Chain A
């Protein structure tokens, strides 16, 4: 089945010159196994390609259940010359969370049911 990353992960984007970077964070180890397997530089590049055809690089950080991604050529040359309303790409991490990955219903159920690592009282 296809699921959007937003169901398995959270994310923040930032900018340096014309590059937007993303931290993508699984809520738990079961979720991390899925995003580590399914989220590759090539797939993220293909996801953004209809909008921003720049190159993507990906690093894996299993120690904090995270992926780091950088998309080049994302800001019309940089924040101070970008004509978009979101000139710094602050909302672009949400565009990454729109991406769909392929998982089995069992894997998905396991990742959603597993406890979060972080402290979220209530």
Chain B
């Protein structure tokens, strides 16, 4: 392809808004939308869906989203790439195919599978990637494990003429790198010169800037006061990247949308969830930001150059999930006078009941929303006089236990205390909130075994 490729950000997580995506298609001049539906935690949520119904396990918002966006995209020749397949890309593909067919729409949908690696993980028993914990401690409790796959299968799908590509646990930024590799015919597995690697890394950085939707264009801009100067977040425009053949990228957004693209909003996203900025590993290239340059052009446009690339790692990252006990939580409020002291007394009553009834638990976690739930002891409490005069205090009690019956019974400890506990209660919330907890197991796995099993299947609705 000559010239530039314009990619628009899709969703930033399962449940995100797609009106801004429509604006990018209608007014942003995009060729592709790449949509990231999967945070680390999302697979844990999808696992619970799949436990209930094995046709689920994908990000279900992709169906209504594409029923809205497909006509807009078709009229402009825009292609759509997403990882909404989650733990069940085939299920997502089938659901989309059925929904399109019901409208009489003809769409080529490519489904990428093969990222599921639970049986391989059980065979190689890798330690926890961050803390070195032994796999044996969780083996019996593992419920899913998926490898972060790179851009190659998406490139293959685009080469086969797919209008829509649905994957499972493909690395977020690879969703954006893939159309660049496809359009510019960049070397991928055989990239070896600095120029080859640097443009891949630029493409990956573009993906990193766009994969969190509005967080790349002024949303969630952590600051004092400055956030107020970001216009019209209610109608935010998600970021759009215009990328050249050498990887040079202009970050912008659709005309007439809210939000802000500038040096500050772009760099907050550039470092988001990056650890060592010189070695950000992805399946396709290692990104090095030590010489990145962000040139603020004004008018919601920032040019990014200077991202360097290093050879891709020999191993892929895996995200696994294991059953990790249960929790239940109740939030309880008290009004002035003595609101804080009454909340403390209420906590003591709960502790006494847990002991009296021998309800086994690992932890009773207590926080005070409005006082210290965000920053714990780093948030200075008001003076004791001011504390005594607070208008109201809410206390949130959360139990962690290995015993499901204890979690299920936690809410039943509360109602009677409305009449027999401290006075001026403002009510309980969450009396039936028992749920299972999942621990996340990051690990590394040799890439050959995973990549040999990756498949691209093209469906026609």
Stretch from B63-71, B195-203, B332-340, B369-377 forming part of the interface with A: B369-377
Interface check A61, CB cutoff 8 A: yes
Known: A21-B274, A63-B291, A119-B299. A81 touches B439 (CB 8 A): yes
Q: Is A88 among interface residues, defined by CB-CB distance under 8 A?
A: yes
Report A's interface with B, CB cutoff 8 A: 6-7, 10-19, 21, 23, 25, 27, 47-48, 50-52, 57, 59, 61, 63-64, 66, 68, 70, 72, 77-81, 83-86, 88, 90-95, 97-98, 116-122
Convert B272-291 into 0s and 1s, putting 1 for each residue whose CB lies closer than 8 angstroms to a CB of A: 11111110000000000111
Q: Contact: B324 with A81, CB < 8 Å?
A: yes
Which residues of chain A are within 8 angstroms of B270 by Cβ–Cβ distance? 23, 64
Tell me if B442 is interfacial: C-beta within 8 Å of chain A: yes
Q: Does B440 make an interface contact (CB < 8 A)?
A: yes
The distance in angstroms between the C-alpha atoms of A92 and B40, with both chains bound, is: 18
- Give CA–CA (A18, B129) in the complex, Å: 11
| Contacting residues, chain B, for A94 (C-beta < 8 A) | 222, 374-375
Stretch in B111-119, B259-267, B450-458 with 4+ CB within 8 Å of A: B259-267
Q: How far is the CB of A58 from chain B (nearest CB, A)?
A: 11
| Complex CA–CA separation, A61 to B376 (angstroms) | 29
- CB-nearest residue of chain B to A72: B130
Q: Are A66 and B271 in contact (CB under 8 A)?
A: yes
Of residues 249 through 270 on chain B, the ones whose CB sits less than 8 Å from some CB of chain A are: 262-265, 267-270
Residue positions of B touching A, CB distance < 8 A: 40-41, 44, 129-131, 215, 220-224, 226, 229, 262-265, 267-278, 289-294, 296-300, 306, 321, 324-325, 327, 329, 363, 365, 367, 369, 373-379, 396, 398, 400, 437-440, 442
Q: Are B437 and A80 in contact, with the CB atoms below 8 A? A: yes
Say how far A11's CB is from chain B's closest CB, in angstroms: 5
Tell me whether B438 and A80 are in contact (CB under 8 A).
yes
Give Cα distance in the complex from A24 to B396, angstroms.
31
Query: B267 touching A23 by the CB < 8 A rule?
Result: yes
Taking a contact as CB atoms closer than 8 A, the residue among A59, A81, A95 that contacts B278 in the complex is: A59
Say yes or no: A79 contacts B40, CB within 8 Å.
yes
Whether the pair B267, A64 counts as a contact (CB closer than 8 A) is yes
Q: Which of A10, A70, A77, A85 contacts B264 (CB 8 A)?
A: A10
How far is it, in angstroms, between the C-alpha of A122 and the C-alpha of B262 when the chains are bound? 14
Identify the closest chain A residue to B439 (Cβ).
A81
Question: Cα distance A7–B263 when bound, in Å?
Answer: 18
**B268 lies within 8 A of A25 (CB):** yes
Q: Which of A84, A85, A93, A119 contacts B263 (CB 8 A)?
A: A119
Residues of A within 8 A of B273 (CB): 14-16, 21
B299 touches A51 (CB 8 A): no
Residues of B contacting A6 in the complex (Cβ-Cβ under 8 angstroms): 223-224
Q: Which of B222, B224, B269, B367 has the most CB of A within 10 A?
A: B222
Known: A15-B273, A66-B267, A80-B44. 16 other contacts (CB 8 A): A6-B223, A6-B224, A10-B224, A52-B376, A63-B290, A64-B263, A64-B292, A81-B324, A91-B375, A95-B375, A95-B379, A98-B375, A98-B378, A118-B263, A118-B296, A119-B297
CA distance A60 to B48 in the complex (A): 40
A86 to chain B, nearest CB (A): 6
Distance (whole angstroms) from the CB of A8 to the closest CB of chain B = 10
| 16 sampled A-B residue pairs with Cβ under 8 A | A15-B40, A18-B131, A51-B376, A51-B377, A61-B289, A64-B270, A64-B271, A77-B439, A78-B439, A81-B439, A83-B329, A84-B365, A85-B367, A91-B374, A119-B296, A120-B262
When the two chains form the complex, which single residue of A11, A64, A86 contacts B294, counting CB atoms closer than 8 Å?
A64
Of B44, B267, B292, most A-chain CB atoms within 10 Å? B267
- B131 — nearest CB in chain A belongs to which residue? A18
